Amino acid sequence: MKILITGGAGFIASQVADRYIAEGHAVAIVDNLSTGLRENLNPQATFYEVDITDEAALAQVFDKEQPEVINHHAAQMDVRRSVAEPAFDATTNIVGSIYLIENAIRVGIHKFIYASTGGAVYGELECIPADEEHPINPLSQYGISKHTVEHYLRLYHDNDDLIYTVLRYGNVYGPRQNPHGEAGVNAIFAGLMLVGKRPTIFGDGSKTRDYVYVSDVVAANVLALSRGDNDVFNIATGIETTDQEVFDAIAAATGYQGPPIYGQERKGEIHRCALGISRARERLGWEPQVAFTEGSRLTVEALSTKLAD
């Protein structure tokens, strides 16, 4: 199939692109390289340095490529920036997605796969693990913007027969995650520890997240090509992992001996998160394969190799 991947120079989507290409699909990538890296681009993919909010340029890509599938990962994904710049967040995540959906309808695509977020859309959880029917009460503009696109997908399905799959990710981690970014605590901790610097835990270390390794996320994107039509899936592990446990796992993998710095908790972040994955098991045939300790080791190993190059 011809697949157009947005954000394909980024941490997750670049690895989705690699897997799609390995399985024989033709891939085109749209990325503005604001956070993605050119080095992540698969050389077998056709690359367009285009922002998804550039309506005219995006339409030209669709006209040229005529994709059969859209895999949409491009996003403003920094919770703190969404709080500080809500209009920018909405423009990128909502307006840019609308342009993609409208072009998808125009060229008659077969499937629209959307990378949403499980950690941010639900807000503070009323039950743990939270399944896909949990109330939606985001605590950040980012959570609102990502969930809004899910409504647009349902609308275009009802009105224009668009077939879609929504994947609500837990906290994805693994190789290619930016150790200097605002998100991705695993890579941030690893990057600091590998050069002997003290990482900061925001809060007392008890905050939890549901960490899912990137190769497991890639597998969900492969399954979504042929399964999960017009449905929403948590892609996670169902397991709570504390910030302190993340610190300890990365410290063990790097050999770091020092303590963390404990800083003030940040606005817009939930305190606990674990996502139920029974629907993904039953309807997608997906479940995670990589345990957190092993994923942490692989993350550190990949970053260590990169830093040594």
Residues with Cβ within 8 Å of 212's Cβ and at least 6 positions away in sequence, in order, are 169, 170, 171, 172, 173, 235, 236, 237, 288
Dihedral, 201, 202, 206, 210 alpha carbons, nearest 10 = -90
Task: Provide the annotated active-site residues.
Answer: 142
Q: Are 42 and 14 in contact (CB under 8 A)?
A: yes
Only one residue has tokens 């290409």, namely 21
| Tokens read off for 84 | 């500080």
* 161 burial type by CB count under 10 A (0-12 exposed, 13-18 middle, 19+ buried): exposed
**Cα 40 vs. chain centroid, distance in angstroms?**
15
Residue 263's DSSP bridge partners are 202
Nearest C-alpha neighbor of 289 from the set 218, 229, 186, 183? 218
Across 238-259, b (16+ Cβ under 10 Å) vs e yields bbbbbbbbbbbbbbebbebeee
